[in-house]
Amino acid sequence: MIVVKVGGAEGIDLDAFARDVASLRAAGERLVVVHGGSAETNRIAARLGRPPRFVTSPSGMTSRYTDRETLEIFEMVYCGKVNKGLVERLRRLGVDAIGLSGIDGGLLTGRRKATVRSVEDGRTIVLHDDHTGTVERVNAPLLELLLTNGYLPVVSPPAISDDGVAINVDGDRAAARIAAALGAHTLLLLSNVPGLLRDVADERSLVPGFALADLEAYAPLAAGRMRMKLLGAQEALRTGVERVVLGDARSATCVTRALAGDGTVITNA
Amino acid sequence: MIVVKVGGAEGIDLDAFARDVASLRAAGERLVVVHGGSAETNRIAARLGRPPRFVTSPSGMTSRYTDRETLEIFEMVYCGKVNKGLVERLRRLGVDAIGLSGIDGGLLTGRRKATVRSVEDGRTIVLHDDHTGTVERVNAPLLELLLTNGYLPVVSPPAISDDGVAINVDGDRAAARIAAALGAHTLLLLSNVPGLLRDVADERSLVPGFALADLEAYAPLAAGRMRMKLLGAQEALRTGVERVVLGDARSATCVTRALAGDGTVITNA
């Protein structure tokens, strides 16, 4: 079992991604796909007059501030446009794909943040009405039910809180939870960079790999979104996944290449 | 088994609808929900600078013209905002709801119209790049799989064509196909009118009911969207559904009331 998360940043070709997934499925690989949609969400939000608002936590993590209207725009793009577009592409290639958000069937449940602390101009302020949170549980039997019946699940945030409120969650960490819950041996986190870089300005400075035990030494190299990927990798490897590959989604055979070890390979050995 | 289609026109309260569905589920009723989203789609399309374009066929049916961008707006609203919002509401009420579009798992498949003929200013013109079509098959085993495992399917257009292209389909007729495929005894088509009216300007002019054999006599009363509902009712009743109720979605207990016969009741007797 392999869980593949494909990002939603600029430069990612979902047509090529779908072709590569279809060829792996045809070769008998068991797969679950998780996707993002950030760039398209930013475009649609801007067109709707609701440009994204990013907040930086006191610990330096950057995330999208998600009030109710922002959550609904997020759902429109992730669960509507991107998820259905990807399922359509896969079906056209003969893959029996089925799209699900984390809300559906309680697939991804967890905790909603009561408040969000944001550092703005050096001061920490507290924001309310935020619809973000963290995935704590995966409805693995639902995914197993679909896989057993020949379907390829294509999963999108948001998740849903224990009291039944939709929450925006990080897609990389959601994919890590899914990989752990399904007992996947490999988790691929594909985005628009080649992997973890020693110098973010130089794509040739790729870190080829390291063991989980050495993660602390490499963590300082990660900035922005890459920090969340390392956190997801750590969570997955600590809960039974054998290998996480931070790979490049911009090539025509991105899944196959990441599976072959192209990217930053982190192992639990 | 009951299939309930709730419309997406103005004046429909999805909070109340969800509460009524939850109470029926708690009473042990087996249900599948199908929903619309037209009013919200019109609002979002206008905000995105893509107001809807309606076409009238030579036979007088009115439908939305759906090029690729319009289809994607439709997916965003129907599959994203409305479907996830309804699943979220139901889950908050303790119902194990799962949202699916007709694309997912090939739930609703059918034929794409090669071209659309539109009457404009008295002339018939031919439109290309239209993403509309008709549902011909329902993946009933997928719905049965979910129902058997305790889930309540919440279904949204679009469907997918046999060659793998997403197609906008009529929700009432899709619900009719689903009801027939599942062997449902009752199909409820709920919208923002009390049912079939003798005078569309007078809500007290409700036609209380008739048998399928008399449908031709009542068909001339139907205008606009109501024509599609009668067509759906006819298709459902001809394929094994015992009773179709055209009911009012604007009351707090709309599903319970329609089940009790409040609306226009059409039977296959």
Q: In this model, does residue B63 exceed pLDDT 80?
A: no
Neighbours of B130 (CB within 10 A): 24
Shortest Cα–Cα distance, B153 to chain A (Å): 9
Instruction: Summarize the confidence of residues B89-97 as an average pLDDT.
Output: 98
Q: What is the pLDDT of residue A58?
A: 87
Shortest Cα–Cα distance, B46 to chain A (Å): 10
| Cβ–Cβ below 8 Å for A87 and B81 | no
Q: What is the pLDDT of residue B55?
A: 86
| Cβ–Cβ below 8 Å for B105 and A160 | no
Q: Which residue in chain B has the smallest CA separation from A156?
A: B80
Contacts 24+ apart (CB under 8 A), B67-73: B67/B129, B67/B130, B67/B131, B68/B129, B68/B131, B70/B45, B70/B131, B71/B131, B71/B158, B71/B166, B71/B168, B72/A80, B72/A81, B72/A85, B73/B41, B73/B44, B73/B45, B73/B48
| Cβ–Cβ below 8 Å for B149 and A149 | no
Q: Is the dihedral of CA B85, B86, B89, B92 positive or negative?
A: negative
Q: What percent of chain B has pLDDT over 70?
A: 100
CATH of the domain spanning A2-47+66-108+134-267, picked from 2.60.40.1840, 3.40.1160.10, 3.20.20.370, 3.40.50.1970: 3.40.1160.10
Instruction: Summarize the confidence of residues A43-50 as an average pLDDT.
Output: 95
| Cβ–Cβ below 8 Å for A99 and B103 | yes
Residues from B contacting A (CB-CB < 8 Å) are: 44, 47-49, 72, 75-81, 83-85, 87-88, 91-93, 96-101, 103-106, 142, 145-146, 149, 151, 158, 160, 163-166
pLDDT confidence tier of residue B115, bands split at 50, 70 and 90: confident
pLDDT confidence tier of residue A175, bands split at 50, 70 and 90: very high
| Cβ–Cβ below 8 Å for A164 and B92 | yes
* Domain made up of B2-267: CATH architecture: 3-Layer(aba) Sandwich (3.40)
pLDDT confidence tier of residue B42, bands split at 50, 70 and 90: very high
Q: What is the pLDDT of residue A117?
A: 86
What does the alpha-carbon distance between residue A170 and residue A159 come to, in Å, rounded to a whole number? 9
Chain B residues near residue A101 by CB distance under 8 angstroms: 84, 87, 99
Shortest Cα–Cα distance, A192 to chain B (Å): 24
Shortest Cα–Cα distance, A89 to chain B (Å): 8
Shortest Cα–Cα distance, A76 to chain B (Å): 4
Q: In this model, does residue A97 exceed pLDDT 90?
A: yes
Q: In this model, does residue B162 exceed pLDDT 90?
A: yes
pLDDT confidence tier of residue B259, bands split at 50, 70 and 90: very high
pLDDT confidence tier of residue A4, bands split at 50, 70 and 90: very high
Lowest mean pLDDT among A157-171, A224-238, B114-128: B114-128
Interface-testing mutation among A14, A15, A41, A76, with chain B (most B C-beta atoms within 10 A): A76
pLDDT confidence tier of residue B135, bands split at 50, 70 and 90: very high
pLDDT tens figures, B193-232 = 999 999 999 999 999 999 999 999 999 999 888 999 999 9
Q: What is the pLDDT of residue A83?
A: 98
Q: What is the pLDDT of residue A15?
A: 96
Q: What is the pLDDT of residue A269?
A: 78
Q: In this model, does residue A17 exceed pLDDT 90?
A: yes
Sequential DSSP letters for A121-177: TTEEEEE-S--BEEEEEE-HHHHHHHHHTT-EEEEES-EEETTS-EEB--HHHHHHH
Q: In this model, does residue A53 exceed pLDDT 90?
A: no
Q: In this model, does residue A61 exceed pLDDT 80?
A: no
Instruction: Summarize the confidence of residues A134-162 as an average pLDDT.
Output: 98
Question: What is the per-residue burial (b if ≥16 Cβ within 10 Å, else e) of B103-117?
Answer: bbbbbbbbebbeebe
| Predicted ipTM beyond 0.85 | yes
Chain A residues near residue B168 by CB distance under 8 angstroms: none
Q: Which residue do the tokens 């072959």 mark? A: A260
